[in-house]
Structures are given as structure tokens and as C-alpha cells.
């Protein structure tokens, strides 16, 4: 457990040392919140859907967690190129402990980013409908962070260069976000979009977080929790297996 704690602490130190990363990773979520929340807000209200900022905020928080967590996997490639990864691999600790420490560290960083964006959403006019459910919202944020960090770890263990990582990440991350109902409600009628939303694992994270903050779960709180928890565990195991195949 000491190795896990050390790797977790190392991820946090990297995050707080890089002020450019801290500020830069907030730009996209805030841009989406302001441009869409206030730009499309009147249209959303005229359609009888209520306050769009109130609806959009959980999706924007999920967006901040998603991008921060997934792109944390690029640090594996960076460490490999600088030789730091070899020093970690030859240490007398299990590969699973290394992956667990990295994943928990990356998830913690993503949670911090999500918390900052949540405060920005509050400043923009969002307010939780059920403040007593904030611990449940934090639980869903944690599951989203662990699942997305595990995705980044798995791909970072397979890929060799940063450009390839960024291209594949955009190919995976953007569809995950746009078809997660983060920006629009789950369609009422069956169709291709509704099917894409139901098959998207991130949809259950957005639904769980939105339900905890605004009330009302499209898929059900038990379903959201079961899907996220199962996928987080499976992806963590996959990331550990792929990381274990890296040659020192």
C-alpha cells in the first residue's frame, strides 16, 4: 500500500506543479458552459425544458472529469520516453500496485478539476436541487474519474508515441462525450441517437450525476451505479494487464 500511496502522491505533485495544465484544462468546460448554457438557454426554455444551465452543469462537470482523466494516460508515454517508467517497473512492487496508484492519482486530479468546474457552474447560476444528495454526486464523480483514468492507462500502456495517443483519444473521447446526453436530454423515442446514448457507458455517469444534482434518473440510480462500478473494475483490470505487458 505504501507504493500505491507514493504513486498517488506523485500524480498530485505533478498536477499542482503544472499551473498551465491546471488553467488550460478548465478552458474547454467553461467555454461550453458559457457558450451553450447562455447561448442555447432561451431556446431550451421556449421548448419547455426549463433552465438550460441547470440541465447542462452536470454534463460540463462530467466533461472536465472525462478529459482530465483520459489524457492522464499520456504520462505513461512521457515517462517511457524520459526513462522514468523503467525505474518504476524495476521497483520491487507489483505492476497492479503501480497501476492502482497511478489510477487513483489520476482520478483524484480529475475530481479536483471537476470540483473546480462545479464551483464555476454555481457561479454561473447552477444550484443543486437536492443538497443532501451531494455525497451521491461525489460518488458518481469518483466512478466516472476511475473509469476514464483506467481507459487512459490502458491506451497509454499500448501506444508508443504521443501523437498516436492524442489521435486515438479524440476518436474515443469525443463520441463518448457527445453521445452521453451531457448536452441534450435522452431522446424519448427509439432511434439511432437513443441507442447510441444507451450503449455509451458515460451516459450512465452523466445520468447518475444529473439525477443526484437535479433529481430524476433516466436509467435509474441502481442501473447507473451498477454499470459504472462494473466498467470501472473491468477497465482497471484491463489496464493492469496491459501495463504488466510493458517490458522494462
Please tell me the predicted confidence (pLDDT) of residue 248: 55
Please tell me the predicted confidence (pLDDT) of residue 217: 87
Q: Supply 138's cell numbers.
A: 461525489
Number of residues that this document lists for the chain:
248
Please tell me the predicted confidence (pLDDT) of residue 15: 66
pTM: 0.90
Please tell me the predicted confidence (pLDDT) of residue 3: 65
Q: Print pLDDT tens along the chain (248 aa).
A: 576 777 777 767 776 666 566 676 777 888 888 888 888 777 777 766 678 889 999 999 999 999 888 887 777 877 777 777 777 777 677 778 888 888 888 899 899 999 999 999 999 889 898 888 899 999 999 999 999 998 888 888 887 777 777 777 778 888 899 998 888 888 776 788 888 889 999 999 999 999 999 988 888 899 999 999 999 999 988 888 888 777 65
List the domain boundaries for the chain.
2-244
Residue 79 burial (10 A CB sphere; 0-12, 13-18, 19+)? middle
Q: Which residues of 117-156 are buried (b: 16+ CB within 10 A; e: fewer)?
A: bbebbeebebebeeeebeebbbbbbbbbbbbbbbbbbbbb
Please tell me the predicted confidence (pLDDT) of residue 37: 82
Q: Please give the Cα distance from 221 to 136 (Å, whole number).
A: 10
CB 26 within 8 A of CB 117: yes
Write the CB contacts of 152 (distance below 8 Å, at least 6 apart in sequence): 69, 70, 71, 72, 73, 74, 106, 169
CB 75 within 8 A of CB 14: yes
Amino acid at each position: 500500500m505504501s507504493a500505491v500511496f507514493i504513486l498517488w502522491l506523485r500524480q498530485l505533485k505533478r498536477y499542482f506543479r503544472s499551473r498551465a495544465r491546471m488553467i488550460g484544462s478548465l478552458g474547454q468546460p467553461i467555454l461550453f458552459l458559457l457558450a451553450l448554457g447562455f447561448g442555447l438557454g432561451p431556446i431550451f426554455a421556449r421548448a419547455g425544458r426549463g433552465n438550460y444551465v441547470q440541465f447542462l452543469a452536470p454534463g460540463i462537470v462530467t466533461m472536465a472529469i472525462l478529459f482530465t482523466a483520459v489524457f492522464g494516460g499520456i504520462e505513461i508515454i512521457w515517462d517511457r520516453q524520459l526513462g522514468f517508467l523503467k525505474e518504476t517497473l524495476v521497483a520491487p512492487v507489483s505492476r497492479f500496485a503501480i497501476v492502482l496508484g497511478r489510477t487513483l492519482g489520476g482520478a483524484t486530479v480529475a475530481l479536483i478539476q471537476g470540483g473546480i468546474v462545479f464551483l464555476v457552474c454555481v457561479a454561473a447560476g447552477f444550484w443543486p436541487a437536492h443538497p443532501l444528495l451531494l455525497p451521491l454526486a461525489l460518488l458518481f464523480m469518483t466512478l466516472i474519474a476511475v473509469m476514464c483514468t483506467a481507459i487512459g492507462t490502458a491506451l497509454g500502456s499500448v501506444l508508443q508515441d504521443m501523437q498516436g495517443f492524442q489521435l486515438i483519444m479524440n476518436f474515443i473521447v469525443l463520441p463518448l462525450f457527445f453521445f452521453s446526453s451531457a448536452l441534450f436530454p435522452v431522446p424519448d423515442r427509439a432511434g439511432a441517437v437513443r441507442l447510441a446514448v444507451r450503449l455509451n457507458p458515460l451516459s450512465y455517469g452523466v445520468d447518475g450525476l444529473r439525477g443526484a444534482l437535479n433529481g430524476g434518473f433516466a436509467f435509474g440510480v441502481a442501473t447507473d451505479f451498477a454499470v459504472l462500478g462494473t466498467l470501472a473494475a473491468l477497465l482497471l483490470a484491463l489496464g493492469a494487464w496491459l501495463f504488466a505487458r510493458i517490458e522494462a
